[in-house]
Amino acid sequence: MDDRSGVLSNGSNESAIWHDGWWESEDGLKLHYRDYPARRSSGSDVLPVLCIPGLTRNARDFEVLAEDLSADRRVICIELRGRGESEYARDPASYVPTQYVADLELFFAETGIDRAVFFGTSLGGIVTMLSAMTAPQRIAGAMLNDIGPVIEREGLEHILEYVGHGRSFPTWMHAARALQDVHGAVYPDWRIEQWIAFAKRLMELSASGNIRFDYDMRIADAFAGTGNPAKDSSMIGAEDLWPAFDALAGRPVLVVHGETSDILSGTVAREMVGRIPQVELVSVPGIGHTPTLNEPHVREAIDRLLARCAA
């Protein structure tokens, strides 16, 4: 069901570039995705890209990348339950990766899509790896953005410091400055215009006129309950994610690593390259968790990944 569309952010006169789509979870939630159809004829053998965002992110997180890639292929940016336009869960205990994987399987069933190239940022990469264990036939290739089978404790502690605090702001400038205070070390060279654009991807204008984060604050309850740094990496719902990463074997994989990331260490990233065949590692200098995927050499690596993914 499509009832809304968006236009190119660069002001092009091309027709609407994306449409809303919806599917239903097993517990009756209405879940949302942005569907970017290929603007040029691409043929039936060109695989779509499925973008899965991070813990507090939404479909807007991929909007620049999706606009570019959809020139030649379909791109779908889903919103996990409790984020963006997707309904909030009735039970916050369902905010766990295994549930997201189950939701994703129903997405495939309802849309009729058979296979896609998965792009997963942070939590989205965890969902991608777990999907490789449960439905490997769905995945033609994968891009894991600053995530791997081992999550660094320092990064978990940092996330616990800000997730679910529910702050609101009177202006986009206030929102941008607040994000800069928390994430300034991740993007040390950003100008204020970039922080404002970042705020508009992460936040929404509420009915009361305040600007607030665009996710269910109860996500923090599930994260804190299973994401205690004292419990190693159990926030992902699995003590050992190496088998999930290994399940990606036999298909092209791109690992994007923020050089100063506190979630994915360089040691783990390099181990991922040697673990299974067809893995390319691209590091982004001076950037933490997570790279934007708009960095020129990352875009080149994404093009190489897509070229390696057969229908």
Bridge partners (DSSP) listed for residue 144: 120, 255
Q: What is the pLDDT of residues 293-302, one digit of tens each?
A: 999 999 999 9
Burial of 28 from C-beta contacts in 10 A (0-12 / 13-18 / 19+): exposed
Q: Return d(Cα 177, Cα 82) in angstroms, integer.
A: 25
Contact 77, 104 (CB under 8 A): no
**The one-letter amino acid at 48:** P
Q: What is the pLDDT of residue 286?
A: 97
Q: What is the pLDDT of residues 235-257, one digit of tens each?
A: 444 458 999 999 999 999 999 99
Q: Return d(Cα 172, Cα 108) in angstroms, integer.
A: 36
Closest to 245 (Cα-Cα) out of 101, 83, 129, 77? 129
Q: What is the pLDDT of residues 32-72, one digit of tens each?
A: 999 999 988 766 679 999 999 999 999 999 999 999 999 99
CA angle 167, 235, 30 (to 5 degrees): 65
- Mean per-residue pLDDT over the chain, rounded: 91
Q: Lowest-confidence range among 94-98, 116-120, 158-162? A: 158-162
Q: What percent of the chain has pLDDT over 70?
A: 88
CATH topology of domain 5-151+234-308: Rossmann fold (3.40.50)
Helix (H) or strand (E) holding 256: strand 253-258
Q: What is the pLDDT of residues 177-198, one digit of tens each?
A: 999 999 999 999 999 999 999 9
Kindly report whether the global pTM for this prediction surpasses the value 0.75: yes
Q: Return d(Cα 10, Cα 129) in angstroms, integer.
A: 34
| Domains in the chain: boundaries | 5-151+234-308
Q: Return d(Cα 104, Cα 111) in angstroms, integer.
A: 11
Closest to 128 (Cα-Cα) out of 188, 49, 239, 32? 49
Residue at token pair 């973008």:
51
